[in-house]
């Protein structure tokens, strides 16, 4: 997995209690066009504050990420730590510290172990290599059980363009405007303004349509760096080249978002809640999101229980306008409720088989209008509790 | 537990799969002043529709309740079943069917077994007796592990007044405007308009401040019947007698609400999230509710983990306005975070002991204004999943 113009490295700096890779450096050969979106949580981690500020320049050359500590709720010292660790990285890379974007994920409210990061930086910088993408994607994991990466190579804008991304996240996932940690790299040449716009357009069909537990993180960050090494004509305004690049980005980000849901804490089953026939776009989204978030629907899926009544109850409190006696609900291709009422034991048996496949669509038709939307989510199992009741210990 | 003017009875009608008491009848000796509040869920069960309609007259003489089947999402047949079963009860009681209020709780989307109810009604009516309050409170349970009742006897309005209530509910609990099933009885004489007003005033300090899982039921119902047997001067307008009766009602409903949270599905620990210093009443409520609902906070409590960072993250996405660097958080009397930052391992050890008591207050000071509010909730344990993944089977 090589993205022309970028090098990567990871190391075990001793930040995670359990050990393992926990510090990654991602570096462009020269300053890259850059854009980012961040958490909408009022409580923002120090690296979010610093990265957001530095991205105003529209360029960046390095990303320094640690797992095991969120550097959130850490006050002025947290900002100082984010600043100091990126300064040290910049020095080793011989670039301006303003070109280094920090990102952190892990426990909230504990001081960042900056000395450990400082001690690990020299060998981390020395290890940078074009093939280090996968090891970097491993170093940003927390409760994730596997790394999430996606890569696309396509001939667009008159060149063979590579676009690759990595993401981490398994709990505290209910992104809004941004996501947990997502880093996207391309060798296309594009203006930072275009990168930002494409990011914002890709979110509603990727990370803003997934939920694991409804908890929006303090550290959600998505960064998009373009090295320009493909030497295409700079994409700097709307038009076919921008659309082509946007399609690649949506594909990569959609793929990563699916991987995040599939690796949801304790998840054994993933499903898409698709709402059709809503009275407005907002109604469609509210209905899909409320059903996707319902713990009672999630636990029913964990038990392979075709308890569509819980879906009706969730729809009813969602705020979406509809007539309960018109609602159709299908699991996969099997209609289980028609006009708000059960279709009987046979339909139920077929729907149960759909749940047992482990990956399926719940299709809800409100018959209230022409709008649709969706949300991807996972079931809620005893393992979610086990993981989160003991996360810090 | 005798409430002058009322008789109760319960029986096993074979509605619950597991067997046991599942049908209750509650009858006033004569038509009683009556008021009710119902679910705000757009999907309303048939008994909710019928009871709401019948209560417009401001009087009722009987409540017919079944557990094991919600009679929700059952279409015209569901309404017909609610109507027919109350008609049969009325006939046995020799009263008008318009004086019988139906209520149901249990699985959504399955036809009410009306013939089983019809078959059980004669012996149920024959069993009615003034001491049947407790058995009736047992018959309305679903996943509840124990009945919830509260009784108060006080000298108010120039008489010794009795006010007693029963409630059921352990899951699908996030009442809004009303609650699961709550039945309140008093021998005071009061106008239905006053009963309704007192119910609405008591909800914000009882059932509208508790949450188990954020799922609002399709069947939430609170009914308040006053027999007038105490022969006090009819309470029919605002004034000291109304306030006295209101205080009794708040006490009984607050007590019942606490019992519901304590019996939350799988709950081992209960806690109150108290928010102080909010910029507005709405901000205080949003902050308290969001923290109380957070699955990550709930699982941390299950693990006795003083993970106050999750509280900060929940506050941050609540929509309440505040400066994260001013927030104080205490578990019981132990301040764990000051000005948005950790106070260290010793404070944490003390806070952990508070969690381990099993019943405590989390006090959050936003330092953004003068408003406060609270929410009562319980921890989220593996048993919640176990109960809900297999509820119907």
If asked whether residues A95 and A192 sit together in one domain, one would say yes
**Does the CA dihedral A198-A204-A210-A216 come out positive or negative?**
positive
Query: Between chains, do B305 and A381 touch, taking CB under 8 Å as contact?
Result: no
Cα of B324 to nearest chain A Cα, Å: 6
Alpha-carbon gap, residue A303 to A310, rounded angstroms: 13
CB contact under 8 A, B317 and A41: yes
Q: Do B382 and A380 touch (CB under 8 A)?
A: no
What is chain B's Cα-based Rg? 22
Residues 6+ apart with CB under 8 A from B204: none
Catalytic: B179? yes
Residue A214 pLDDT: 66
Q: How far apart are CA B214 and CA B55, in angstroms?
A: 28
pLDDT tens digit string along A279-329?
999 999 999 999 998 888 999 999 999 999 999 989 998 999 999 999 999
- In chain A, residues with a C-beta closer than 8 Å to the C-beta of B342 are 73, 109-110
Within 8 A of A318 by CB-CB distance, chain B residues are 42
* Helix (H) or strand (E) segment spanning residue A139: helix A133-139
Cα B316 to the chain's mean position, in Å? 29
What is the pLDDT, as a whole number, of residue B392?
57
- Are residues B317 and A42, on separate chains, in Cβ contact within 8 Å? yes
B14-17's contacts with Cβ under 8 Å and 24+ in sequence apart are B14/B113, B14/B116, B14/B120, B15/B66, B15/B67, B15/B68, B15/B69, B15/B106, B15/B113, B15/B116, B15/B117, B16/B67, B16/B68, B16/B106, B16/B142, B17/B68
Nearest Cα to Cα of residue B171 among A131, A72, A309? A309
Q: Are residues B36 and B163 in the same domain?
A: yes
* Strand ranges inside A73-173, DSSP E: 100-107, 148-156, 159-168
Q: Which chain B residues are Cβ-neighbours of A112 within 8 angstroms?
A: none
CATH of the domain at A290: 3.10.20.340
Per-residue pLDDT at A197 exceeds 80: yes
pLDDT recorded at residue A176: 45
User: B303 contacts in A (CB within 8 Å)?
Assistant: 388-391, 393
Whole-number Å distance between alpha carbons of B126 and B119? 13
Mutate to test the interface with B, among A268, A313, A390 (most CBs of B within 10 A): A313
Asked whether residue B1 is assigned to any structural domain, the reply reads no
Task: Give chain B positions within 8 Å (CB) of A108.
Answer: 307, 309-310, 312-313
Which residue in the set A171, A299, A337 is minimally distant from B296, CB to CB? A171
For residue A175, the model assigns a pLDDT of 54
The beta-carbon neighbor of B215 closest among A296, A308, A339 is: A296
Residues of B in contact with A69 (CB under 8 A): none
Give which of A247, A89, A255, A289 is closest to A167, Cα–Cα: A255
B305 and A213 within 8 Å at the Cβ level: the answer is: no
Q: What is the chain B residue with the closest CA to A106?
A: B309
Q: Alpha carbon of A25 to those of A64, A72, B247, B253: distances in Å?
A: 5, 20, 63, 58
Q: What is the distance in angstroms between the Cα of A364 and the nearest Cα belonging to chain B?
A: 15
Cβ atoms of residues A203 and A37 within 8 Å = yes
Chain B residues touching A215 at Cβ < 8 A = 294-296, 310, 313-314, 317
Q: Does one domain contain both A44 and A192?
A: yes
Report CB contact under 8 Å: B313, A171: no
Is the Cβ pair B218, A312 closer than 8 Å?
yes
From the candidates A11, A162, A179, A216, give the one annotated as an active-site residue: A179
Same domain (yes/no): B292, B361:
yes
Residue of chain A nearest B110, judged by CA positions: A342
Q: How far is A308 from chain B (nearest CA, A)?
A: 8
Tell me the backbone φ, ψ of residue A288, rounded to 5 degrees.
-65, -45
Cα–Cα distance measured from residue A364 to residue A283, given in angstroms and rounded to the nearest whole number: 13
Instruction: Find the catalytic residue in B179, B216, B218, B381.
Output: B179
Final residue belonging to a domain, choices B262, B290, B316: B262
Report the gap between the CA of A104 and the closest CA in chain B (Å): 14
pLDDT at B178: 34
Which residues in chain B touch residue A315, judged by CB atoms under 8 angstroms apart? 42-43
Terminus-to-terminus CA distance in chain B, angstroms?
35
Using the beta-carbon criterion (under 8 Å), do B41 and A110 form an inter-chain contact? no
pLDDT for A219: 84
Note whether B296 contacts A325, CB cutoff 8 Å. Answer: no
Distance from CA of B135 to the nearest CA of A (A): 29
- Taking the CA of residue B305 and the nearest CA in chain A, the distance in Å comes to 7
Could you give the strand order of the β-sheet that contains B328-331, starting from the edge strand earlier in sequence?
B210-211, B371-378, B270-278, B359-365, B328-331, B334-338, B341-342
Regarding whether B182 and B35 lie in a shared domain, the answer is yes
Residue B272 CA to residue A337 CA, distance in Å, equals 39
- Tell me if B113 sits within 8 A of B84, measured CB to CB: no
Give residue-wise pLDDT tens across range A230-266. Answer: 999 999 999 999 999 999 999 999 999 888 888 887 8
Return the number of other C-beta atoms located less than 10 Å from residue B217's C-beta. Answer: 30
- Quick one: closest CA in A to B386, which residue? A382
Domain hosting B252: range is 6-262
Note down pLDDT in tens along chain B; length 393 residues. 899 999 999 999 999 988 999 999 999 999 999 999 988 888 889 999 999 999 999 999 999 999 999 999 999 999 999 999 999 999 999 999 999 999 999 888 899 999 999 999 999 999 999 999 999 999 998 878 889 899 999 999 889 999 999 998 766 566 543 348 989 999 999 999 999 999 999 998 888 888 776 667 788 888 999 999 999 999 999 999 999 999 999 999 999 988 888 888 788 899 999 999 999 999 999 999 999 988 889 999 999 999 999 999 899 989 999 999 999 999 999 999 999 999 989 999 999 999 999 999 999 999 999 999 999 999 988 887 887 776 554
Does the distance separating the beta carbons of A386 and B385 come in below 8 Å? Answer: no
Residue of A nearest to B265 (CA): A296
Say yes or no to pLDDT of A141 above 60. Answer: yes
Q: What pLDDT was estimated at residue B177?
A: 34
How many Å apart are CA B67 and CA B15, to the nearest integer? 7
Residue B296: the pLDDT is 86
Q: Has residue A160 been placed in a domain? A: yes
Among A196, A229, A262, residue at a domain's last position: A262
In a domain? residue B231: yes
Q: What is the pLDDT of residues A83-115, one digit of tens each?
A: 999 999 999 999 999 999 999 998 888 999 999
Which residues of B are less than 8 Å from A75 in CB distance?
325, 339-341
Chain A residue with the nearest C-alpha to that of B219? A313
- Kindly state whether residue A1 falls inside one of the protein's structural domains: no
Contacts A309 to B, Cβ<8 Å = 70, 72-73, 107-110, 218
Tens-digit pLDDT profile for residues A293-307 = 888 899 999 999 999
Average pLDDT over chain A, rounded to an integer: 91
Listed residue (B216, B200, B120) closest to A310, CA to CA = B216
Whether A280 maps to a domain, the answer reads yes
Q: What is the ipTM of this complex?
A: 0.75
Contact B384 A385 (CB under 8 A): yes
Q: How many CB atoms lie within 10 A of CB A158?
A: 12
Cα angle: A256, vertex A284, A224; to 5 degrees: 30
pLDDT digits (tens, 9 = 90+) for A6-44: 999 999 999 998 899 999 999 999 999 999 998 888 889
Residue B217 CA to residue A314 CA, distance in Å, equals: 8
Which of B262, B288, B303 is where one domain is finished?
A: B262
What pLDDT digit, counting tens, does each position of A207-228 carry? 888 877 666 778 888 899 999 9
The residues, ordered by sequence, that sit 6+ positions from A42 with a Cβ below 8 Å of its Cβ are B315, B316, B317, B318, B320, B321, B322, B324
CA distance B333 to A44: 27
Cα–Cα distances (Å) from B310 to B168, B299, B307, in that order, read 31, 10, 6
Rounded distance between C-alpha atoms, residue A173 and residue A261, angstroms: 9
Output the DSSP codes for A224-269: EEE--TT-PPPB-SSSHHHHHHHHHHHHHHHHHHHHHHHT-TT---
Domain holding B27: CATH number?
Answer: 3.60.70.12
| Residue B315 counted as domain residue | yes
Closest partner CB to A313 (pick from B218, B309, B342): B218
DSSP symbol at A203: G
Half-sphere exposure of B350 (CA within 13 A, CB side): 12
pLDDT at B108: 87
**Together in a domain, B226 and B309:** no
pLDDT tens for residues A348-372? Answer: 999 999 999 999 999 999 999 999 9
- Give residues with Cβ within 8 angstroms of B61, minimum separation 6: B27, B28, B30, B31, B32, B93, B95, B99, B100
Q: How far is A280 from chain B (nearest CA, A)?
A: 17
Contact A219, A45 (CB under 8 A): yes
In a shared domain, residues B15 and B75: yes
Reading the block at residue A77, the tokens are: 């010292």
pLDDT for the residue A17? 86
* Whether residue A138 is found in the same domain as residue A247: yes
Residue B84 to chain A, least CA–CA distance (Å)? 20
* Burial class for B77, CB neighbours closer than 10 Å (0-12, 13-18, 19+): middle
Reference B272, options B256, B258, B253; nearest CA is B258
Q: What is the pLDDT of residue A18?
A: 86
CB contact under 8 A, A216 and B317: yes
Q: In total, how many domains does chain B have?
A: 2
Sign of the Cα torsion A290, A292, A293, A299 reads positive
| SS3 track for chain B | CCCCCEEEEEECCCCCCCCCCCEEEEEEEEEEEEEEEECCCCCCCHHHHHHHHHHHHCEEEEEEEEEEECCCCCHHHHHHHHHHHHHHHHHHHCCCHHHEEEEEEEECCCCCCHHHHHHHHHHHHHHCECCCHHHHHHHCCCCCCCCEEEEEEEEECCEEEEEEEEEECCCCCCCCCCCCEEEEEECCCECHHHHHHHHHHHHHHCHHHEECCCCCCCCCEEEEEECCCCCCCCECCCCHHHHHHHHHHHHHHHHHHHHHHHCCCCCCCEEEEEEEEECCHHHHHHHHHHHHHCHHHHHHHHCCCCCHHHHHHHHHHCCCCCCHHHCEEEECCEEEEECCEECCHHHHHHHHHHHHCCEEEEEEECCCCCEEEEEEEECCCHHHHHHHHCCCC
Binary contact (B312, A108; C-beta < 8 A): yes
Which residue does chain B place closest to A171, by CA atoms? B296
The pLDDT > 90 percentage for chain A reads 75
Residue A104 lies in a domain: yes
Residues 6+ apart with CB under 8 A from B282: none
**Which among B107, B293, B385 has CB closest to A380?**
B385
| Partner-chain contact A339 B75, CB within 8 Å | yes
Q: Do B214 and A295 touch (CB under 8 A)?
A: yes
Q: What is the CA A164 to chain-centroid distance, rounded?
A: 14
Residue A290 shares a structural domain with residue A189 = no
Do B238 and B294 lie in one domain? The reply is no
Domain annotation covers residue A168: yes
Which residues, in sequence order, are bridge partners of residue A62? Answer: A27, A100
CA atoms of A157 and A233, how far apart (whole Å): 7
Same domain, B211 and B292: no
* Bridging pattern class, strands A270-278 and A371-378: antiparallel
Instruction: Give yes or no for residue A389 having a pLDDT over 60.
Output: yes
The distance of Cα B28 from the centroid of its chain, to the nearest Å, equals 22
**DSSP helix/strand/coil, A97:** helix
Which residue of A39, A74, A215 to mutate against B (max B Cβ within 10 Å)?
Answer: A215
The Cα of B223 is separated from the nearest Cα of chain A by a number of Å equal to 21
Same domain for A203 and A233? Answer: yes
**A314/B70 Cβ within 8 A:** no
Report the residue of chain B nearest A392, measured CA to CA.
B305
Q: What is the Cα–Cα distance from B302 to B144, expressed in whole angstroms?
A: 19
* Interface contact A313-B216, CB threshold 8 A: yes
Predicted pLDDT of residue A388: 74
User: Which regions of A279-344 does DSSP assign to beta strands (E)?
Assistant: 328-331, 334-338, 341-342
Using an 8 Å CB-CB cutoff, list chain A residues near B75.
Answer: 325, 339-341
Whole-prediction pTM value? 0.81
What is the reported pLDDT for A170?
67
Q: CB-based burial of residue B92 (10 Å sphere; 0-12 exposed, 13-18 middle, 19+ buried)?
A: middle
Q: Which H/E stretch holds residue A115?
A: helix A114-127
């Amino acid at each position: 997995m090589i993205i022309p113009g970028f090098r990567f490295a990871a190391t075990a700096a001793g930040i995670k209690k359990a050990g393992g890779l926990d510090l990654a450096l991602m570096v462009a050969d020269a300053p890259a066009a850059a854009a980012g979106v961040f958490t909408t949580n009022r409580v923002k981690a120090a690296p979010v504050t610093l990265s957001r500020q530095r991205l105003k320049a529209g360029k960046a050359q390095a990303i320094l990420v640690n797992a095991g500590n969120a550097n959130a709720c850490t006050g002025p010292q947290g900002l100082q730590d984010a600043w100091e660790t990126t300064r040290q990285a910049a020095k080793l890379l011989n670039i301006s510290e303003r070109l280094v974007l920090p990102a952190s994920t892990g426990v909230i409210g504990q001081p960042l172990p900056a000395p450990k990061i400082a001690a690990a930086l020299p060998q981390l910088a020395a290890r940078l290599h074009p093939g280090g993408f996968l090891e970097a994607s491993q170093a940003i994991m927390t409760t994730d059980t596997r790394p999430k990466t996606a890569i696309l190579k396509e001939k667009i804008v008159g060149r063979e363009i590579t676009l690759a991304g990595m993401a981490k996240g398994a709990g505290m996932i209910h992104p809004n405007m941004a996501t947990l940690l997502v880093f996207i790299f391309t060798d296309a040449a594009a203006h930072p303004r275009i990168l930002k716009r494409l990011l914002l357009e890709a979110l509603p069909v990727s990370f803003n349509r997934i939920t694991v537990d409804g908890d929006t993180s303090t550290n959600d960050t998505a960064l998009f760096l373009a090295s320009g090494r493909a030497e295409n004509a700079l994409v700097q305004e709307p038009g076919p080249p921008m659309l082509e690049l946007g399609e690649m980005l949506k594909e990569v980000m959609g793929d990563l978002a699916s991987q995040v849901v599939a690796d949801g804490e304790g998840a054994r089953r993933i499903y898409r809640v698709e709402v059709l026939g809503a009275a407005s776009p907002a109604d469609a989204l509210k209905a899909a999101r409320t059903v996707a978030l319902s713990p009672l629907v999630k636990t029913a899926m964990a038990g392979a229980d075709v308890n569509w009544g819980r879906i009706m109850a969730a729809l009813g409190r969602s705020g979406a306008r509809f007539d309960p006696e018109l609602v159709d609900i299908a699991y996969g291709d099997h209609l289980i409720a028609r006009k708000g009422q059960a279709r009987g034991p046979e339909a139920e048996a077929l729907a149960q088989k759909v749940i047992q496949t482990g990956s399926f669509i719940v299709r809800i038709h409100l018959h209230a209008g022409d709008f649709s939307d969706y949300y991807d989510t996972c079931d809620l199992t005893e393992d979610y509790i086990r993981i989160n009741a003991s996360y810090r210990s």
